[in-house]
Amino acid sequence: MLTSRQANILKIIVEEYTKTAQPVGSKTIMEADLIDASSATIRNDCALLEKEGFLEKEHASSGRIPSTKGYRYYVDNLMHSKNIDDIKNRIELLFSNRNMTINDILDQTGQILSEMTNLTTVVVGPNFQEERLKKLELLPISDKQTLIIFVLSNGHVENKLFTIDDNISIEDLQISIELFNTRLENTKLNELSAKFEVIRPILEQQVQHHEYILKQFANALTSIIKPSYSTHGMQYMLQNPEYNNPERIKQIIQFIENVSPFNFFKKVQNGKSNAVSIQIGNEIQLDNGNDDVALLSTTYKVDNVQEGGIALVGPKRLEYDKVHEILEWLANKIRETYQE
């Protein structure tokens, strides 16, 4: 067990190294508000922390940097809540847009997270392909726009904004929706495109511009069941000095291409909902032996049924407190917005 002073020294080194990517010397530690000790005392504590495996040296005369064990102790015992209002505000705007699907929201959320953390975000969206269509509803907004509401068998609702062509009337859309509700009820989402082709001759007899309407509905359907795995921000993460050589870049790209936040999370979740998993260095057990990687992930549920996952990947030198706070808030935000 670390003493209070040793814990504070470790905390200073982790946070200073995270900001600067430079080894931290005793002078920097001595100037910190948390420490009231002589340079000799600080050097002795640093030597003990290094002996116990919490710190490392790049070479004999350098300052210290945190080890995987040091980061783990920091994550488990020393980090505190961070102010993430700037990120929250940007993501809140996405959730307030009723014209966006959950996949659209998560896709743009991934971009925001990467931009504001310099990490790569991996998003696994909820899988609705096996869900069935319960009904469609029409909600006119103006002469040129209407909202089409897709109600799924699990109770989930997707809203899509339709722009009405000059040759299309609200009446044409209403006729189309009545036909779709009659013919498509209880159809799996991934089978709807084929069913549209069966309906085409019937719709052609009742609606003049049936092709335009079918195209609009097909586009809306695609956005609901589009592939739900995406990565964001590789260009931001590669700005970190840890990935300044081709072999490291190759290793991290291979890892990200194969990572599944959901699978990684399942190993450590132990039944806890909306928890955040933090894996550091060799805890991830990479095949290529790269120890300088960290993975923070969480899962979420939509309508208490459909599960997805979000992960942020980067070097061990990252703001664990900030990223942990973001993921925890985001999982709760999704649950509150899309709970059954």
DSSP string, 274-312: T-EEEEEGGGS--TT-----EEEEEEEEETTTEEEEEEE
pLDDT of 114-141, one tens digit each?
Answer: 999 999 999 887 767 677 888 999 888 8
pLDDT of 38-47, one tens digit each?
Answer: 999 999 999 9
Fold type of domain 85-126+229-338: Beta-Lactamase (3.30.450)
Phi-psi region of 103 (alpha: psi -120 to 50; beta: other; left: phi over 0): alpha
For residue 337, what pLDDT is reported?
85
The residue count for the chain: 340
Task: Judge whether 4-78 and 85-126+229-338 match in fold.
Answer: no
Measured between alpha carbons, how far is 119 from 330 in angstroms, rounded to an integer?
Answer: 16
For residue 79, what pLDDT is reported?
92
pLDDT band for position 273 (cuts 50, 70, 90)? low
pLDDT band for position 338 (cuts 50, 70, 90)? confident
Alpha helices in the chain (DSSP H): 4-20, 26-30, 39-51, 68-73, 85-95, 102-117, 170-184, 192-206, 210-225, 234-237, 246-258, 261-269, 320-338
The share of the chain scoring above pLDDT 90, in percent, equals 38
Q: Which among 136-140, 145-149, 320-324 has the top mean pLDDT?
A: 320-324
For residue 71, what pLDDT is reported?
96
pLDDT of 3-19, one tens digit each?
Answer: 999 999 999 999 999 99
Q: Please give the torsion angle defined by the CA atoms of residues 5, 6, 7 and 13, in that order, rounded to the nearest 10 degrees.
A: 110
What's the rounded mean pLDDT across residues 40-63? 91
Q: Is the pLDDT of residue 210 over 90?
A: no
Q: Which among 86-95, 128-137, 168-177, 305-314 has the top mean pLDDT?
A: 86-95
Q: Is the pLDDT of residue 37 over 70?
A: yes
Contacts of 128 (CB under 8 A, 6+ apart): 152, 156, 189, 224, 225, 306
Contacts of 34 (CB under 8 A, 6+ apart): 8, 11, 12
For residue 260, what pLDDT is reported?
62
pTM reported for the whole predicted model: 0.73
For residue 99, what pLDDT is reported?
75
- Sequence spans of domains, the chain: 4-78, 85-126+229-338, 133-225
Between 197 and 143, the more confident residue is 197
What's the rounded mean pLDDT across residues 52-62? 87
Residue 333: how many other CB atoms lie within 10 Å: 19
DSSP string, 159-179: EEEEEPPTT--HHHHHHHHHH
Fold type of domain 133-225: Enolase-like; domain 1 (3.30.390)
Q: Is the pLDDT of residue 268 over 70?
A: no
pLDDT band for position 280 (cuts 50, 70, 90)? very high
Q: Is the pLDDT of residue 26 over 70?
A: yes
Fold type of domain 4-78: Arc Repressor Mutant, subunit A (1.10.10)
pLDDT of 213-264, one tens digit each?
Answer: 888 888 887 777 765 678 899 888 888 888 888 888 888 888 887 766 555 5
Side-chain-side CA neighbours of 87 within 13 Å: the count stands at 23
Average pLDDT, rounded, for the chain: 85
The share of the chain scoring above pLDDT 70, in percent, equals 91
